A = this chain, B = another copy of it.
Amino acid sequence: MVTIHDVAARAGVSPATVSRFLRGQRVRSYEAIQAAIDELGYWPSAAAQSLKSGRTNTIGVVVPDITNPYFAAVVKGMESVTRTEPYRILLANSDESSEQEDDVLADLVRRVDGIILAPATEQDETPLHVRDADVPLVFVDRDLAGGERFDAVLVDNDGGGRQAAEHLLSLGHTRVAAISGTLDTTPGRLRREGFVGTLAKAGVEVPPEYDLVGDFKEHSGYQLTLSLLSLPEPPTAIFAANNLMTLGALKALHDMRIDIPGQISLIGFDDLDTGPLLRPPLTVVDRPMFEQGVLAMRLLLRRLDPGDGGGLASRVVLDTKLIERASTAPPGGHPSPARTRKTRSR
């Protein structure tokens, strides 16, 4: 390994001078130093630099599942910010498991300057350890019970659930089922509350056999939809609380040869790149993805700035938006004459 001493010796200066040159300071013999660096193929040791400076120039990012297109887009948004900075991203999946999240965070706090986390559950205790380690932490997509003291980039999940409910109500549905995500996550709990609550206010109760809880993974959307179809009286509309469960629901409906929206309307949460191309094109509650990653990374880098005063936590809450496509219609599938239908395609 070529060290700064080797460069110094070859250039006829001291290691300190080489170090100054590397940091961009004005140095007399910069030509000789540059030549020595080139000839020797010298690169400074990141470990040694970290040890001295106390900074790793690394950001830890922990998401439940990188193959979920939502999280892939969020991570890409984060990276678009770090591209112009000296920071790199250390990525890990928690697989929706608090234990796995714990393990990975315990390791990460030793290696990174800051962490962006989409916690596996709201009850998670771990992030407090993160704070003990004095590593800045930003939440994205999901919050923590009592997490108000941390920076966060979230969306209005309650409002999104409401939008889904209002849409189905406006179509005239009264037998409405919800496939929620894990209820001890922010999005799982709030999307359900917004959805069920809005229906209740309109006098539409969601009975227990329609009020189902999955785990944000495709398989649970599939299984729970099958269980809905096996009821003596299946619902006329289903709300699936994330993209993967919506896909599972769609597969189940296809497999059981259910006409959508003729027999059952389906509305999802989170749009998909293929959303407009599906059979039928999906009606969804959409929200910013890439942008959430950008915002979260910016919040974190601000905390890492030595000039940051350690002020109050920034809590960003973005709006959701209904995208009406062809997977929802009035019960029975016939358009309600009383209503002008705004359809959007992409």
Which A residues fall within an 8 A CB radius of B? 1, 41, 43-48, 50-51, 54, 56, 58, 65-67, 69, 72-73, 75-76, 79, 83, 86, 88-93, 100, 106-111, 132-133, 218, 247, 250-251, 254, 272-274, 276-281
Q: Which residues does chain B contribute within 8 Å of A280, judged by CB atoms?
A: 279
The distance in angstroms between the C-alpha atoms of A26 and B56, with both chains bound, is: 32
Contact A88/B88 with A51-B45, A247-B273, A274-B247 known, Cβ cut-off 8 Å: no
In the complex, A254 Cα to B56 Cα: how many Å?
49
Q: Are B67 and A72 in contact (CB under 8 A)?
A: yes
- Report the nearest B residue to A50, measured CB to CB: B47
As for how many copies of this chain the complex holds, the number is 2
State A261–B140 Cα separation when bound (angstroms).
Answer: 42
CA separation between A251 and B56, bound complex, in Å?
44
Asked if residues A67 and B56 are in contact (CB atoms below 8 Å), the reply is no
List chain B residues, Cβ under 8 A from A88: 90, 92, 107-108, 111
Chain B residues near A65 (CB, 8 Å)? 76
- Residue among A46, A56, A90 with max Cβ neighbours from chain B (10 Å): A46
Nearest B-chain residue to A281, judged by Cβ: B279
B43–A247 contact, CB under 8 A?
no
Within the complex, the shortest CB–CB distance from A23 to chain B, in Å, comes to: 16
CB of B76 within 8 A of CB of A93, answer yes
Q: Per a CB cutoff under 8 Å, which of B46, B89, B108, B132 touches A110?
A: B46
Assuming A50-B47, A79-B92, A92-B89, is B58 touching A67 (CB within 8 A)? no
Smallest CB separation, A43 vs chain B (Å): 5
Residues on the B chain within 8 Å of A133, using CB: 41, 43
Q: Is the CB of A93 within 8 A of B79?
A: yes
CA distance A108 to B50 in the complex (A): 14
CB distance from A162 to the nearest CB of B (A): 27
Question: By the criterion CB–CB under 8 Å, are A278 and B278 in contact?
Answer: yes
How near does chain B come to A22, taking the closest CB pair, in angstroms?
12
Chain B residues near A72: list those with CB within 8 A. 66-67, 69, 72
CA distance A274 to B132 in the complex (A): 43
Contact A76 B69 (CB under 8 A): no
Chain B: minimal CB distance from A128 (Å): 12
CA distance A277 to B280 in the complex (A): 9
